Amino acid sequence: MVEVHTDEGYVGVGEADINPWVARACINAPGTHSMGQSLSAMLIGENPLDVEALWDRMYVGSAMNGRRGAMINAIGALDIALHDLRGKILGQPVHQLLGETARTGIRPYASLQPHAEDFGSYRDELIAWLLAAKQRGFTAAKPSVTLSGSYVY
């Protein structure tokens, strides 16, 4: 979770799926040169309503810090917070500012990633997880098959 504060007391909230200590380092690390700037320093004193220009500034200004992985996740969290901030300042929901209509609901899904040593065991465990999710009221699922690779634990 990140918060972006204005001098007027508004607070925008954003989040990213990243280790919070790594995100903090990406946001607060001091800059070293024009394309290795601190994300927080690039935002301080700027117009928080100019969200798109701030994203461009962070993306270009942090090029030498890394444009993938942790850095782009940190930029994403700040971008969400800036959109939230703009909505609060203007008194409008973010979906309206983005030109979208509000949804009346969403269909939740069960994210399933069981662990097994071989495909047969994995299949059986996945079926068990699907049935348990259905019993809990889920009508949709996102099963993942990861017998090898970085997501195997």
pLDDT grade for 143, boundaries at 50, 70 and 90: confident
Residue with tokens 């810090």: 65
State pTM to two decimals: 0.72
Quick one: what percent of the chain has pLDDT higher than 90?
Answer: 65
Residue with tokens 């994210």: 111
> DSSP labels for 1-13?
-EEEE-TTS-EEE
Q: Which CATH architecture has domain 2-97?
A: 2-Layer Sandwich (3.30)
Tokens describing residue 149: 């690779």
Quick: pLDDT tens for 17-74.
Answer: 899 999 999 999 998 888 888 999 999 999 999 999 999 999 999 988 887 889 999 9
Query: Using an 8 Å Cβ cutoff, are 54 and 86 in contact?
Result: no
Q: So where are the chain's domains?
A: 2-97, 110-143
